[in-house]
């Protein structure tokens, strides 16, 4: 099977790494990719938001499947363009991707499907904003309606900050605050059949102890030893299957990866958000644990044959990933700094720990930073404590001037609290 993966982050590096280990994959291409992906796939230049260009590249390469990683191309209709060219695509249509592209649309689908989520108002005027903030009280939760790379949400006790963020957006969703731990649960679906993956937890704040601004994600781990054993089944029945059924009923079936961001509140599971693609950095730990070769299940989702696909097989091992971010991330990150120590990790920590690249590029013999989140250092172990130790030992070998990372990824879960 010949594959083309679209994207350039650590999520796409994790996807490409798994695909490169799949015996059914005979050729692996990625566009635009990064310096790490170049080690497992052939890179191509393409404007990832241009559906025609992606479809033309896939046709030229003779791809049997195109996997679209990030949300922006999906919302721009890139998966549709690939399918129109007669090539199976893993990823939802432009219309179904609105589940991520518009928080107001997601709320409407959830209401129609009876999916539990925070009560909310959609506001377009300062008066509506004031009323909604007043109705819910503090802490205020204010979400830009559109795509914002994980940075469009402000959760604050400060009314002025909440109002300022709301008024800076064209359309906002203001909602009730959800307490309790967060879980990311992904499901692969062909629009009818839904196959859940293993749950993971992401660390969204920039600093230890969940302090600092929201980011795209600073680390993740899986499994969740503290979660109820029937969590996946409950989310399947109350969230994932009803949402997929509702979108099919509307004539806009969702195929690809449905990501449920959940809060486990004192009143039960609630959806915080949906995404229309694999999460980053959760994918790094989920795929580290997946034993079933990846290409076949993605192709089955793209071709509508998931019902016939054998059950997924999972490793009992735990996985932890720690993101190394550039100086000043998540504000304007500094780029162009050389990254050292990657060879040392490869020599001393493989196969239990490895480095997935996000914002990196090659400059002559050097690999330099090229984005906010630069590396996702991933490790496995028989339990979370061992996986953490390995991940942080590898992190310590890497040198990137001005970089920062959290030191508490999976710490509480590993300690059993
Ligand atoms: P989102 O982009 O919707 O995932 O929001 C980013 C982060 O903001 C989430 O991971 C939560 O940590 C936080 N957040 C979003 N909505 C809520 C809510 N209703 N209550 C509490 N925290 C929230
Ligand atoms: N880890 C959060 C996201 O992928 O949106």
**Residue 42 CA to ligand 2 centre (angstroms):** 26
Q: Does any ligand 1 atom lie closer than 6 A to the CB of residue 207?
A: no
- For ligand 1, atom 5, name the residue with the nearest CA: 153
**Residue 365 CA to ligand 2 centre (angstroms):** 32
- Examine the pLDDT at 149 and tell me if it is beyond 70: no
- Examine the pLDDT at 107 and tell me if it is beyond 70: yes
- Examine the pLDDT at 91 and tell me if it is beyond 80: yes
| pLDDT at res. 417 | 61
**Residue 304 CA to ligand 1 centre (angstroms):** 32
- Examine the pLDDT at 145 and tell me if it is beyond 90: no
Q: Does any ligand 1 atom lie closer than 6 A to the CB of residue 150?
A: yes
| Cα–Cα distance list, 220 to 54, 105, 175, 245, 399 (Å) | 30, 28, 26, 29, 21
Cα–Cα distance, 364 to 90 (Å, whole number): 34
Instruction: Give the domains, in start order, of the chain with CATH numbers.
Output: 2-90 (3.40.50.20), 119-175 (3.30.1490.20), 182-308 (3.30.470.20), 318-414 (3.90.600.10)
Helices (H) and strands (E) in the chain — how many of each? 15, 24
3-class DSSP state of 70 = coil
Nearest to 100 by CA among 168, 170, 186, 161: 186
What percent of the residues of the chain are helix, what percent strand, and what percent coil, each to the nearest 5?
A: 35, 30, 40
* Encoded tokens for 394: 């590898």
> Which of 272, 279, 281 best tests ligand 1's pocket when mutated (most atoms within 8 Å of CB)?
272
- For ligand 2, atom 4, name the residue with the nearest CA: 279
Question: Mind listing the pLDDT tens digit for each residue in 400-409?
Answer: 999 999 999 9
* Ligand 1 atom at minimum distance from 177 CA: 20
Question: Mind listing the pLDDT tens digit for each residue in 361-374?
Answer: 999 999 999 999 99
| pLDDT at res. 103 | 87
Buried b (16+ CB within 10 A) or exposed e, 40-68: bbebbebebeebebbbebbeebebbbbbb
The rounded mean pLDDT for the chain is 96
């Amino acid at each position: 099977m010949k594959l083309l993966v679209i994207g350039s982050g650590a999520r796409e590096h994790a996807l490409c790494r798994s695909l490169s280990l799949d015996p059914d994959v005979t050729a692996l291409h990625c566009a635009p990719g990064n310096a790490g992906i170049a080690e497992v796939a052939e890179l191509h230049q393409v404007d990832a938001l241009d559906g025609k260009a992606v479809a033309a590249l896939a046709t030229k390469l003779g791809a049997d499947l195109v996997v679209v990683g990030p949300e922006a191309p999906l919302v721009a209709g890139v998966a549709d363009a690939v399918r129109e060219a007669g090539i199976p695509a893993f990823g939802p249509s432009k219309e179904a991707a609105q589940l991520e592209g518009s928080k107001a649309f997601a709320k409407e689908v959830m209401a129609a499907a009876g999916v539990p989520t925070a009560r909310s108002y959609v506001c377009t005027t300062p008066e509506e904003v004031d009323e909604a903030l007043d109705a819910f009280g503090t802490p205020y939760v204010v979400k830009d309606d559109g795509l914002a790379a994980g940075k469009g949400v402000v959760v604050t006790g400060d009314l002025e900050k909440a109002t300022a963020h709301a008024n800076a957006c064209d359309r906002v969703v203001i909602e009730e605050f959800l307490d309790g731990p967060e879980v990311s649960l992904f499901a692969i679906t062909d629009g009818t059949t839904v196959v859940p993956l293993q749950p993971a937890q992401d660390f969204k704040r920039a600093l230890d102890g969940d302090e600092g601004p929201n980011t795209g994600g600073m680390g993740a781990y899986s499994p969740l030893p503290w979660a109820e054993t029937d969590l996946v089944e409950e989310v399947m029945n109350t969230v994932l299957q009803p949402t997929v059924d509702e979108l099919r009923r509307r004539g806009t079936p969702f195929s690809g990866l449905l990501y449920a961001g959940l809060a486990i509140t004192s009143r039960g599971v609630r959806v915080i958000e949906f995404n229309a693609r694999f999460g980053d950095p959760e994918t790094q730990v989920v795929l580290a644990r997946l034993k079933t070769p990846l290409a076949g299940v993605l192709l089955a989702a793209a071709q509508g044959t998931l019902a016939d696909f054998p059950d997924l097989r999972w490793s009992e091992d735990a996985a932890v990933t720690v993101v190394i971010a550039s100086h000043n991330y998540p504000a304007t990150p500094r780029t162009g700094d050389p990254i050292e120590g990657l060879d040392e990790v490869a020599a001393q920590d493989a196969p239990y720990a490895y480095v997935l690249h996000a914002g990196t590029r090659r400059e002559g013999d050097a690999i330099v930073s090229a984005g906010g989140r630069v590396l996702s250092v991933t490790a496995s172990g028989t339990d979370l404590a061992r996986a953490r130790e390995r991940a942080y030992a590898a992190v310590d070998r890497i040198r990137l001037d001005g970089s920062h990372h959290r030191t508490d990824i999976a710490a509480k879960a590993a300690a059993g609290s």
